[in-house]
Each structure stands twice: as C-alpha cells, then as structure tokens.
Structure 1
Amino acid sequence: MLTSLSITSLYVLDQDQALDFYVGTLGFEVQTDQQFGPMRFLTVALPSDPGHAVLLELPAPPSVSPEIAGQVRDLVTKGAGGGHLFFTTDDAHKTHAALKEKGVELPEEPVVQPYGIDFGFRDPFGNSVRIAQMTPPPSA
C-alpha cells in the first residue's frame, strides 16, 4: 500500500529563477540538482519537511512532448498550469509581512477563514501558492 508522498511536480519556466524564488525567498533547500538524461532533475524541500520535495520541472520533454510544451508554458503563465502549493505557518501575519519585505507580490492580505488565517499569491511563473495558519481543532 502507499505510505507517503515524496515528490510533487511543479512546472516552472526557468529553473535558476525558480531556485532563487523557492530557495532564496521562501526558504526551501535544494535536495537534488542533477542532469538526468534530457532533463535537469531539480528538487527542493522545506528544511522542516525534507520528506516532501517539489520537483521544479520545465515544461519540456520528457514530461511533455515538444508539440505541446509551448501550450503548457502559456497555461503556466496564465495561472492555469495546475500548479498549486499549500503551506502552513505558525503566524500568517508575520509570514505575510516577511514575504512582502522580500519583494513577493502579495495581492491578498491574511483573512480569517473557518479553518484559520490564510492568504495566497502566485510564484514568478503563475503557480498558485497558499499559506495558512491553521486553527487548532477543538479539544474533545
């Protein structure tokens, strides 16, 4: 049976720019950066959660055919590439302020939701990123 999710894939249009954003701005660490056949296999993970990596993948062979790679790039830039990352934080307001200070474009302020406080933005390529400070579950 399945035991864990180890890697999820996210299309990016420039892997070096993705490294700058995900490592330099969001605080991920590089797990793997190697040439793997025709592709650069580049994974990053949060230091607090090394078991869940994100593959920063170019929309190009072998993941997509050359014929549709341009269409995928276009969808990614429009925010319709299917890339979504959901993170938790201990303090949504503090995280929002820190990201704003680092120059991340934040179109949303933190908002109280039934599950906690959250806000969202897009990475430099158009992928959706949401960050939530979860409300503790009620005690039994």
Structure 2
Amino acid sequence: MTTISNISLVTVYVTDQDAAKRWYIDNLGFVEATDIAMGDNGFRWVTIIHPDHPELEVTLMIPGPPLDDNLADAIRRSLANGTHGALGLRTENCQKAFEDLTAKGVEFVAPPAERPYGVEAIIRDNSGNWLVLVEPREFDPAAFRG
C-alpha cells in the first residue's frame, strides 16, 4: 500500500508570471492559490488551481534556477517557438469549449477533431505552451497497439 494519495503540484513554465496568471484566470476559469516572494533573489511562488480541483496546484514558473542554464534556455526556446507542452484539460463538450474560448480570444493551434479517445483541440497560452483540451470517451487502448 502506498502513502501517496494524489498528484498535488505540476509546473507550467511561463514567460511572465503576472500575464500568465491573468490568462489562466480570465480565460480558463482558474483561481489564484499562492503568490508570494521567496528570498532576496526575486523568486516568486505563483500557483493557480481549478475551483473544482483545489487539490492540484499549477505552478507558473519562469525558466531559471533551480534548473541548470542549458535546460532553462531550452525551455525558453520551446516557449518562444510556441511548442512547449503543458497541460491536458478535460471538458464535457469540446466544441462548446472551443466556441466559448475562441470568443474570449484564446488561440487554438488545432480546432476540435475526432480522435479514438474522444474529441480533442489544442490551445496555445500566452507563454507559448500547448494545452490539450479533451472531451474523452471510452475506448480500447489494446486496439491501437501495433
């Protein structure tokens, strides 16, 4: 028996913590959980949560320490290219979510499309992260093994 009960924290790398926090709150309905300065080096601990799942905090982190310079640079390049993967988000109606979010000005890399596991669309946040929006349906993963 394990003593781990759930995942409680994930990190999304961003280019600007204030802008990212506003984007996730204003566009996706997250709420602020934590925003505090830590130490004299300018480090900020910024987290958001989805109101229906407060047990999972999303840290909005600037690429830098404690990452080494090479990894931080690679993440910054990936964000600048708009190709950094971040979160998978569940929805009950992908087409409706697409319409609602498009009306708010959210950029979609790919509109809703049928997949074996459901309907999927891909969003790009204001830092260059890709967010997968999925309306799941039951499927047999064994049917896709080669």
**TM-score per shorter chain, which class?**
0.7 to 0.9
| One-letter amino acid of the counterpart of residue 48, structure 1 | D
CA distance in 2, matches of 1:135, 1:66: 41
Q: 1:114 to 1:35 in 2, by over 3 A?
A: same
Q: Deviations over 1:24-73 (max 9, x none)?
A: 11110011111122311000011011111110001122x32457644432
The 5 A counterparts of 1:60-139 are: 60-61=64-65, 63-65=66-68, 69-81=72-84, 83-136=85-138
Question: What stretches of structure 1 of length at least 5 have no aligned partner?
Answer: none
RMSD: 2.0
TM-score (norm 2): 0.83
| One-letter amino acid of the counterpart of residue 50, structure 2 | L
CA distance in 1, matches of 2:83, 2:112: 23
Among all aligned residue pairs of Structure 1 and Structure 2, give the percentage whose two residues are the same amino acid.
31
**Which has a greater percent of strand?**
2
2:49 pairs with 1:45: yes
TM-score (norm 1): 0.86
**Count of residue pairs the alignment pairs up:** 136
CA distance in 1, matches of 2:95, 2:82: 25
CA distance in 1, matches of 2:74, 2:136: 36
Residue matched to 1:55: 59
Q: 1:137 to 1:107 in 2, by over 3 A?
A: closer
1:90 match: secondary structure: coil
Return the offset for 1:108.
Answer: 1.6
Residue matched to 2:29: 27
CA distance in 2, matches of 1:19, 1:132: 22
| One-letter amino acid of the counterpart of residue 125, structure 1 | S
